[in-house]
Structure 1
Amino acid sequence: MTLRWLAKPFAFPLPPGRLETVLPPRPWAWRRLLVANRGIYGLLMATGLGGCPSKSEQVRPVVSAISECVYAAGTIKSAQQYQAFASVSGVIRDIYVREGDSVNVGTPLLAVASDVSRLQEENAALSARFADVAANQDQLREARELVAQQRRTMQNDQLQLQRQRRLWAQSIGTKLALEQRELAYSASRTAYDAAVARWRTLERQLSFGAAQARNNLRIAQQQARDFVLRSRVRGVVYKLYPKQGEAISPQTPLAVLGEGRHFVLEMQVDEADIVHIRPGQQVLVTMDSYRGQVFPARVTAVVPLMNANSKTFVVEARFVRQPPVLFPFLSFEASIVLRTKSKALLIPRRLLLNDSTVLNSQGQPVRVKTGLSDYQMVEIRAGLSPADVLTAPES
């Protein structure tokens, strides 16, 4: 069946045998729809209720299947689709891919010219090699040898001091000789401690310098990589904006990339209907690219932030049965199925008075309880039976 949104046709994707419904004239809002069986339409036409009602027009309620839906429209996007930007300014030096090419994560897309970054990287590499600990082993070996020499001197002075003390205990030698041995040992001990401290300080300095040089090299390499734009996804290059030799800045869009097999339906839903939308609901999709075909999908996400300008929310869905060929930004129209009833008692909405009363065959008012409804049809939940005959009120 076909639902019409003003002058634009919308192929509402329901099983065959559905009633054509015309939506109210609100082109700026997404409306909820209720679709009933075509048998009602035939009955209305048979009784004359398909046109302007008259005093003699009568109709019986009909039991039929109905579905309450939210109309939505939007565009298709590739999964993980994104717009690529460079983090630096410059001139496009090389372009490595073409539109439609398949890429992997890390595939180079284009390069921005920068001799300065190349020289900085080379300079950082030189500094890293110069500061490497392995390249400074001579300094460490010299410091270790000095420590060993000072240790031997200290040990010798310690032995001399111990010998002089034994002699002094036997009243041999002078007090001056003992004091000289003590001073010599103290000096050699201090020299040894200083040599050890210098050796350890040199080790720390060399380790720090090597680590700092390596970090500077990584920074320079990262800065150089910033001049080469690479793919973040495994997929397809859908669009390349710049030409070789063009000047760009970090605000210049350079490419559009995304997956090549999986796509996302991104649609706008009015704020009046968003409270009824939740993940998992069925979505029936039609596209101008596949006229006459209906593709099932499921709601996967509701973005919880309203667009203040359009008063709409973004709802995302994924195809259950995806069309064979898709491209980003294809437009589509969809019906998000809220509820479906296989059997419901339906009457034309124009038979209602004050949304709660109908006229029986004698023209007497009868109170009813309504359920689902749209611009033309309404469900009667209580107050009528299929055998009742209703009279259309005068216009």
Structure 2
Amino acid sequence: MKRHVALALLLLLLASCSDKDKTTTPTVENITESVYASGVVKSKDQYQLFPMVSGVIQQILVTEGDVVKKGDALMKIDNEAAKLSTENARIAAEYARVGANSEKLRELQEAIDLARSKKHSDSLLLVRQRNLWAKEIGTQVELEQRELSYQNSLASYRSAILRFNDLKKQLNFAAAQSQKNLQISQTLSNDYTVKSETDGKVYSVLKEEGEMVSPQTPVAVIGAANDFILELQVDEYDIARIKLGQQVLLHMDSYKGQVFEAKVYKINPAMNERTRSFTVEASFVTRPPALYPNLTTEANIVIQTKKNALTIPREYLIDGTYVMTEDEEKVKVKTGLKDYRKVEIVAGLPKDAVIVKPAP
């Protein structure tokens, strides 16, 4: 008999608790409307480093965690062909040097000197013949021959100067061109050394010595050593509500139970068509003591906050605009802010109303 009484009391207690769980009254409290976003931690200016040329990695000069400066060598790619090309360009540049062609220039300079002497000699003979002709000595044919010889000598002299200047221009051009080719070859040779593009930390070395790489293959991940940001993904339906400067509240699996604060500083305008989401970047206001790239996070971007709002649990709302009273009366209400648990009631429901949770 006692067992039956005890069982009846237990059933009555459970029924009472069940009825209590299905009813509630509005609560006056602060409510914050926010947009959910998931994302990852990244070091500021984090990027993947790609080699400039294809080849086999000959030597890796850094390890994960190393701090590097802009221009520091990170790895070397086998460049035997580049070395040979550079040496060939150096030989060509040396051969094309003006100084290396001094004998050709000297030969033409001697031709100029000889033509000048011939012109001078013919000029003197022409003057003498003219003086003789003025005294009616000699013939017209002899005078014309002297004039023709002088004109030929003058033309030869000018031609020798032109040949000398043309050769000098050609040699200067060939020397400059060969020097440029050498510089290009040296630059290409330098491309076989993979260098850091910024100051920062090496977070990941993606290849090993002996592996083949190409300009389409990343070889390392580098970013700021102590400056981290959040890269968040926001659904396309919510992106219009996101503004610069909005507060971000976030938590990470690495720091369970702790909430950190950040602020939106960049909204990327291009949508990812595959995920139908936008990338939003935020900077930390309060941050954990230790951070690493690619830590996952879940965040709420605060849209607006209202103090002393009249709220009810969201599951008590019917079709978004109605609630059910304890008298089973369906009452229309006007809603305001919403978070993932509560909804603000702006009008239609008194503070002391008792409402019933709708059946699932």
Q: Give the TM-score normalised by the residue count of structure 1.
A: 0.74
Aligned mates of 1:325, 1:126 — CA distance in 2: 55
Question: Equivalent residue of 1:320, what SS?
Answer: strand
Match of 1:321 among 280, 286, 308: 286
Match of 2:77? 112
1:164-204, Cα deviation, whole Å (9 max, x unpaired): 55665665543212212321232123223322221221122
Aligned to 2:355: 392
Distance 1:324 1:192 in 2: 86
Query: Greater relative contact order (Cα 8 A, min sep 6): structure 1 or 2?
Result: 2
Preserved contact between residue 359 and residue 390 of structure 1 (Cα < 8 Å): no
User: What SS is found at the alignment partner of 1:280?
Assistant: coil
User: What root-mean-square deviation, in Å, do the aligned CA atoms of Structure 1 and Structure 2 show?
Assistant: 3.2
- Offset at 1:306? 2.1
- Deviation sequence 1:191-239 (CA, Å, 0-9, x none): 2332222122112211221122112212222232232222222112222
For 1:114-263, what aligned pairs fall within 5 Å after superposition?
Answer: 114-144=79-109, 146-147=111-112, 149-151=114-116, 153-154=118-119, 157-158=122-123, 161=126, 164-165=129-130, 168=133, 171=136, 173-263=138-228
Q: Which has the larger radius of gyration?
A: 2
Distance 1:376 1:283, change over 3 A: closer
In 1, are the aligned partners of 2:48 and 2:220 still within 8 Å (CA)? yes
The CA distance in 2 between the partners of 1:332 and 1:52, in whole Å, is: 34
8 Å CA contact 1:277, 1:338 repeated in 2: yes
In structure 2, which of residues 245, 248, 252 is the aligned counterpart of residue 280 of structure 1? 245
> Does 2:291 correspond to 1:291?
no
SS at match of 1:211: helix
> Kindly tell me: are residues 48 and 156 of structure 1, through their superposed partners in 2, closer, same or farther at Cα, counting changes over 3 Å?
farther
Tell me how far apart the structure 1 counterparts of residues 99 and 156 of structure 2 sit (CA, whole Å): 27
Q: Which letter maps to 1:51? A: D
Distance 1:375 1:334 in 2: 12
Per the TM alignment, residue 148 of structure 1 is displaced from its structure 2 partner at its CA by: 5.1
More helix by share: 2
Match of 2:31 in 1: 66
Q: Structure 1 counterpart of 2:289, which letter?
A: P
The unaligned stretches of length 5 or more in structure 1 are 1-46
Q: 1:147 and 1:321 mapped to 2: Cα distance? A: 84
The size of the alignment, in residue pairs, is 342
What SS is found at the alignment partner of 2:165?
helix
Q: Is the 8 A contact 1:143 1:195 kept in 2?
A: yes
What one-letter code is carried by the residue in structure 1 that aligns with 2:242? I
Q: Using the alignment, how far apart are the partners of 1:195 and 1:215 within structure 2? A: 30
Amino acid at match of 2:267: V
Q: Percent identity?
A: 45
Partner of 2:155: helix, strand, or coil? helix
Structure 1: which 4+ aligned runs deviate by more than 6 Å? 47-50, 359-366
Q: Per-residue deviation at 1:254?
A: 2.3
Does 1:334 find its partner at 2:299?
Answer: yes
Aligned CA distance change for structure 1 residues 353 and 86 (closer, same or farther; 3 Å): closer
Uncovered stretches (5+) of structure 2, i.e. residues with no partner: 1-16
For 2:343 and 2:180, how far apart are their aligned partners in 1? 72
Deviation at 1:161, TM superposition (A): 4.3
Cα distance, 1:97 vs. partner? 1.7
CA distances 1:2-31 after superposition (whole Å, capped 9, x unpaired) = xxxxxxxxxxxxxxxxxxxxxxxxxxxxxx
Provide the C-alpha distance between the structure 1 equivalents of 2:268 and 2:91, rounded to a whole number of angstroms. Answer: 51
The answer as to whether partners of 2:32 and 2:339 remain within 8 angstroms in 1 is: no
Residue 174 and residue 103 in structure 1: after superposition, are their counterparts in 2 closer, same or farther (change >3 A)?
A: same
Distance 2:145 2:19 in 1: 131
1:337: Cα distance to partner?
Answer: 1.4
